[in-house]
């Protein structure tokens, strides 16, 4: 531990200290003070830390940020961030605050979508039981930072036997330069409940901003949750996001991570599959350009028997961009009859693009089916010429091949309009 590193942490903590949480109920204050205590013992990881080996945080931690106060949140237009042809409930987080003005929610019995800050104030809400239960501050400095200082977020609860009719689209936007936004999402799907969520992380003039987000998902028996994370912060921008998931029996959890832009993006996915009959899907498409650095770390922990997990991560790295994939699957001694599949495929479009890929399996049970694999290559020049020889332009040929490459990673997105939106985004990226 060096004094310089300490100073960086101190500077960051100092910038967050003007936030006042003194009117929060006891449970929340305790949570925050525990996290503060944890923060005292944690430090920013260096490349010597195995978990952060390929990602240097200098770009994020060598900067000074400011936080926004609720009353200074600007009026903005978010229509450019909505998904065309999608009828959804829309929640907007601006610079870390839940915007009542931009809210578009169709009320449905059994479905609660609330500002996390408001939900904390209500003692009967599920929040007091669940917040911080699985995203543990003492485990990771960025979880601790978030817990100490999250300004707001979204609390979603789906009651027993209720299917949330419309997808919930959370637009997480930053509008100010050098801003740090700590946001938090808490999702609970009770027995037989189901919900589809989209969270977009975007920028509206928020250059060099840092979004540190944490999401916790609790799935009860037979619950089904699909979470689609769309990372598209243009320009110089930083994002670290942590998703912590807890699955009970026969539940289905799907997370699709689509990273289209970002100077430094780090995703930490941690999924505990703690009961039988569960299904877990983790898919991702990440497109790197310029000097983007996109790091995906995933952990699926199979604790109980008869569960399936599938992971397909596909990267296309252009220019000088760097990708990191570390997928870890644990199969614990109890978790017999686990089927766990993991694959990471990458296309490097230039000689300077880099991928660090590390699929890992740790198996302690003896009756399981598990596989993992990683490939890295280039677009097949022969195939491009073949398509050109049929009258297809080189750009369209590349586009056709890229769509073919990523197709299976998009299969678990069940919101058709979102799929089309992503297809179009990718297509315009490679035909321009």
Partner 1 sequence: MLKIKNLHASIEDKEILRGINLEVKAGEVHAIMGPNGSGKSTLSAVLAGREEYEVTEGSVDFDGNDLLDLSPEDRAREGVFLAFQYPIEIPGVSNVNFLKTAINEKRAYHGEEAIAAKDFLALVKEKSALVELDPKLASRSVNEGFSGGEKKRNEIFQMAMLEPKLSILDETDSGLDIDALRIVAKGVNTLKSPKNATIVITHYQRLLDYIVPDFVHVLYNGRIVKTGGKELALELEEKGYDWIKSENVEL
To the nearest whole angstrom, how small is the minimum distance from the Cβ of residue 351 to partner 1? 18
Among 173, 387, 398, 415, interactor with partner 1 by CB under 8 A: 387
The smaller minimum CB distance to partner 1, of residues 221 and 383, is found at 383
**Residue list 322-361, contact with partner 1 (CB under 8 A):** none
Helix (H) or strand (E) holding 6: helix 3-16
Specify the residue, 83 or 347, whose C-beta has the smaller distance to partner 1: 347
Closest to 44 measured CA to CA, from 62, 66, 31: 62
Q: Is 16 in the site for partner 1 (CB under 8 A)?
A: no
Q: What is the 8-class DSSP label of residue 163? A: B
Which of the stretches 138-146, 206-214, 337-345, 384-392 binds partner 1 when contact is defined by CB under 8 A? 384-392
> Is residue 405 helix, strand or coil?
helix
Residue placing its CB nearer to partner 1 in the complex, 355 or 397: 397
Nearer to partner 1, 17 or 393 (CB): 393
Q: Which stretch binds partner 1 (CB under 8 A): 83-91, 259-267, 348-356, 379-387?
A: 379-387
Closest CB to partner 1 among residues 33, 393 = 393
* CA dihedral sign, ordered 394, 398, 403, 404: positive
Q: CB-side exposure of 293: number of CA atoms within 13 Å?
A: 15
432 is an interface residue for partner 1 by CB under 8 A: no
Residue closer to partner 1 (CB basis): 408 or 416: 408
Which alpha helices (DSSP H) does 154-212 contain, by range? none
Please report whether residue 106 would count as binding partner 1 according to CB under 8 A. Answer: no
Among candidates 297, 42, 32, which has minimal Cα distance to 182? 32
Among positions 388, 424, 428, 431, the unique one binding partner 1 when judged by CB under 8 A? 388
Sign of CA dihedral 287, 183, 34, 220: negative
Over the range 93-118, which residues count as b (16 or more CB within 10 Å of their CB) and which as e? bbbbbbbeebeeeeebeebbbbbbbe
Q: Which residue number, 107 or 391, has a Cβ lying nearer to partner 1?
A: 391
| Percent of the chain as helix, strand, coil, to the nearest 5 | 25, 40, 35
Give the nearer residue to partner 1 in terms of CB position, either 225 or 409: 409
Residue from 383, 419, 427, 429 binding partner 1 (CB under 8 A): 383
Q: CA-CA-CA-CA torsion for 42, 55, 370, 221, nearest 10 degrees?
A: 50
Least Å distance between CB 398 and partner 1?
11
389 binds partner 1 (CB under 8 A): yes
Q: Whole-number minimum distance, CB 405 to partner 1, in Å?
A: 6
- Exposure on the CB side of residue 384, measured as CA atoms within 13 A: 11
Q: Which of 392, 420, 423, 427 binds partner 1 (CB under 8 A)?
A: 392
373 contacts partner 1 (rule: CB under 8 A)? no
Decide if residue 376 touches partner 1 (CB under 8 A).
no
Q: Which residue, 148 or 285, has its beta carbon nearer to partner 1?
A: 285
CA distances to 151, 301, 330 from 306, rounded to whole Å, are 40, 13, 14
Short-list 41, 42, 45, 39, CA closest to 14: 39
**For 255, phi and psi rounded to 5 degrees?**
-125, 125
What ranges in 328-393 are assigned the alpha helix state H?
381-388
Shortest reach from residue 407's CB to partner 1, in Å: 6
Contact call for residue 400 and partner 1 (CB under 8 A): yes
CB-neighbour burial class of residue 341 (10 A; exposed 0-12, middle 13-18, buried 19+): middle
C-beta closer to partner 1: residue 82 or 420: 420
177 phi/psi in degrees, rounded to 5:
-65, 145
**Region binding partner 1 by CB under 8 A among candidate stretches 152-160, 185-193, 247-255, 386-394:** 386-394
Is residue 407 involved in binding partner 1 (CB under 8 A)? yes
Asked if 431 touches partner 1 (CB under 8 A), the answer is no
Total residues interacting with partner 1, rule: CB under 8 A = 20
Check residue 51 for interaction with partner 1 (CB under 8 A): no
Residue 430 interacts with partner 1 (CB under 8 A): yes or no:
no
| Residue range at the interface with partner 1 (CB under 8 A); choices 79-87, 120-128, 342-350, 383-391 | 383-391
Residue 230's alpha-carbon distances to 151, 240, 274, 314, in angstroms, are: 21, 13, 27, 15
> Given the rule CB under 8 A, which residues bind partner 1?
380, 382-383, 385-394, 396, 400-401, 403-405, 407
């Amino acid at each position: 531990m060096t004094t310089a590193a300490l100073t960086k942490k101190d500077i960051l903590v100092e910038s967050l200290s003007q936030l006042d949480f003194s009117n929060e109920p006891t449970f929340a204050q305790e949570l925050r003070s525990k996290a503060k205590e944890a923060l005292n013992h944690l430090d920013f990881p260096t490349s010597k830390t195995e978990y952060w080996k390929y990602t240097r945080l200098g770009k994020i931690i060598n900067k000074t940020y400011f936080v926004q106060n609720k009353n200074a949140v600007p009026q903005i237009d978010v229509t450019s961030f909505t998904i065309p042809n999608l009828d959804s409930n829309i929640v907007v987080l601006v610079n870390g605050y839940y915007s009542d003005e931009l809210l578009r929610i169709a009320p449905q019995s059994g479905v609660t979508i609330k500002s996390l800050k408001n939900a904390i104030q209500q003692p009967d809400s599920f929040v007091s039981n669940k917040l911080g239960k699985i995203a543990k501050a003492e485990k990771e400095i960025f979880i601790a930072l978030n817990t100490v200082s999250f300004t707001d977020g979204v609390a979603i609860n789906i009651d027993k036997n209720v299917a949330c009719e419309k997808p919930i689209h959370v637009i997480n936007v930053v509008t100010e330069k050098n801003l740090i936004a700590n946001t938090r999402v808490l999702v609970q799907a009770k027995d037989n409940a189901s919900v589809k969520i989209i969270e977009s992380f975007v920028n509206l003039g928020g250059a060099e901003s840092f979004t540190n987000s944490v999401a916790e998902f609790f799935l009860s028996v037979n619950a089904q949750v699909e979470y689609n994370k769309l990372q598209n912060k243009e320009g110089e921008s930083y994002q670290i996001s942590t998703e912590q998931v807890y699955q009970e029996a026969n539940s289905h959890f799907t997370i699709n991570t689509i990273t289209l832009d970002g100077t430094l993006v780090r995703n930490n996915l941690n999924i505990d599959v703690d009961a039988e009959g569960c299904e877990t899907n983790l898919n991702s498409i990440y497109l790197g350009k310029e000097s983007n650095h996109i790091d995906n770390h995933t952990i699926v922990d199979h604790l109980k028997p008869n569960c399936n997990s599938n992971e397909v991560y596909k990267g296309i790295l252009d220019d000088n961009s760097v990708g990191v994939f570390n997928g870890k699957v644990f199969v614990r001694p109890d978790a017999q009859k686990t089927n766990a599949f993991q694959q990471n495929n990458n296309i490097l479009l230039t000689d300077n693009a880099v991928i660090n890929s590390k699929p890992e399996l740790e198996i302690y049970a003896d009756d399981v089916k598990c596989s993992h694999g990683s490939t890295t290559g280039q677009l097949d020049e022969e195939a491009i010429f073949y398509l050109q020889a049929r009258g297809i332009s080189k750009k369209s040929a590349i586009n056709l091949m890229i769509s073919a490459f990523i197709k299976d990673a998009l299969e678990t997105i069940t919101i058709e309009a979102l799929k089309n939106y992503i297809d179009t985004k990718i297509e315009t990226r490679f035909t321009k």
